[in-house]
Structure 1
Amino acid sequence: MITRRRALVSGVAVAATAAMVGPAGSTAAAADHTKAQSKAKPTIVLVHGGFADASGWNRVIERLQHDGYKTIAPANPLRGIPTDAAYIASFLASIEGPIVLVGHSYGGAVITNAAAGNPDVKALVYVAAFAPDKGEQLGVLLNKCPGSLIGSSVQGVPYPNPDGTTGTDLSLRADKFRAAFAADLRHLGEQAAERGASSCSAAPRTPPHQAAA
């Protein structure tokens, strides 16, 4: 059985391999296949989405590094695409050699913009992520398909910008977090109850007469 994490790592590795050998079907790439294989592997940059942090990539990083890929997960500032894309773009500029850029959820919109004009970015990988076309707005895409609870679950906290203007940090209300962001995960109480029931059913039963003795 292929787990979601294993499929993700495999997909990123495929993109990384493609970045090394060049476009499929290219005569030049085919002729230089041996030479391309000897080149250094690309750096894989993992960009997290909203209401999360870079630690969500920990297990993915372990597996990619085990396979010999230099892997980095920078902190996405989460202060709007103009700010976040500019920051990730500046981070990419510090990396030498080919890059495979990966985005999850909101991070997909960030990498789409951050990669623009950078010839070292050889592949973009979207993991359940927004992949906006030119001119598309994230808010429009979010509301394109009904059912999302994010909009009604968000709360804003203002913060000052260096130029004197005010920005807004967005977070999910604690009482809405699970339904809006992790509805597919069972409640911790349910998991504990299941573990307890499993332990009880698996435990050896002591006959009453032995217990009394």
Structure 2
Amino acid sequence: MSTTPTVVLVHGAFADAASWSAVIEELQSHGIPVIAPPNPLRGLASDAAYVASVAAQIDGPVVLVGHSYGGALITVAGTTENVVGLVYVAAYALEEGESLGELQGRFPLSPLVSNLKQWTYPVPGGEPAVEVTIAQDAFPSVFAADVPAEVTKVLAAAQRPLAAAAFEETASAAAWRTKPSWALVAGADNAINPEVERFGAKRAGATTVEIEGASHAVAVSQPKAVAELIRDAVRATG
């Protein structure tokens, strides 16, 4: 059984696992095992259960890394026995019993909130449910202001929607209470108020770095810095 933790990268809303591509390349170049599973984006409890099931099926220790909404998921899924560390990348670090909406509501709202577009999707045996994406014309400034324009146009077209109900679900656990954590604050984040990121990181007692001028898409624009923080977590827990 490997003693080097496997890194599990959990993407957030409005993105997919490809958003980790450059981070994956960087970690692999240092011999770190890594996987980036698809995040269903259907609800906090069910998505966290999926992430937990992925982690539990890996032989050996796991470091969970969550970007954005993915941070809320690793907070819950991180209670899985073989998870040895948590890394929050421009992410929400919830407290047990807290929702995304509650945490966000303590701080001035980011530009994301006024630029969400609503869609619906079918639910077996029920009324259609609501999901949200970022309006395409607002996507570059809200999500990826430090990423080249030709890249953000593609990211905006390919974004994956988040079920609106995810904002109101509460976290059933806070793994950072018992597992060591690290956090990267994106200093110019327009999707999550950086104050939300700082607050969550401080409350979790996370080892924190802040990148001035970094957008929410910091894993795309600054993959080496993101990978370096993850490597710190791997070294500390391996």
TM-score (normalised: structure 2):
0.58
Residues 65 and 163 of structure 1: is their aligned pair in 2 closer, same or farther, counting only changes over 3 Å? farther
Q: Give structure 2 stretches of 5+ with no counterpart.
A: 151-238
Matched, 1:40 2:9: no
What residue number does 2:106 align with?
A: 144
Higher-Rg structure is 1
SS at match of 2:45: helix
Matched, 1:113 2:42: no
Matched, 1:77 2:17: no
Residues 115 and 52 of structure 1: is their aligned pair in 2 closer, same or farther, counting only changes over 3 Å? same
Q: Give structure 1 stretches of 5+ with no counterpart.
A: 1-37, 189-213
Residues 166 and 83 of structure 1: is their aligned pair in 2 closer, same or farther, counting only changes over 3 Å? farther
Rounded to whole Å, the distance in 2 between the matches of 1:97 and 1:163 is 40
SS at match of 2:48: helix
What residue number does 1:181 align with?
A: 143
Number of aligned residue pairs:
150
What residue number does 2:86 align with?
A: 124
What residue number does 1:166 align with?
A: 128
Matched, 1:59 2:22: yes
Greater share of helix: 1
Deviations 1:82-123 (Å, cap 9, x if unpaired)? 22112112222221211010011111001111222x110000
Contact residue 155 and residue 170 of structure 1 kept, 8 A: yes
Give how far 1:159 is off: 1.4
SS at match of 1:51: coil
Q: Percent of aligned pairs with the same residue?
A: 50
Give how far 1:147 is off: 4.6
Quick one: higher RCO (CA 8 Å, sep 6+), 1 or 2?
A: 2
Rounded to whole Å, the distance in 1 between the matches of 2:53 and 2:11 is 16
Give how far 1:166 is off: 3.3
Contact residue 79 and residue 168 of structure 1 kept, 8 A: no
SS at match of 2:14: coil
**Alignment root-mean-square deviation, CA:** 2.0
What residue number does 1:49 align with?
A: 12
Residues 39 and 86 of structure 1: is their aligned pair in 2 closer, same or farther, counting only changes over 3 Å? closer
Rounded to whole Å, the distance in 2 between the matches of 1:73 and 1:42 is 14
Rounded to whole Å, the distance in 1 between the matches of 2:105 and 2:140 is 19
Rounded to whole Å, the distance in 1 between the matches of 2:109 and 2:140 is 15
Letter aligned with residue 130 of structure 1: Y
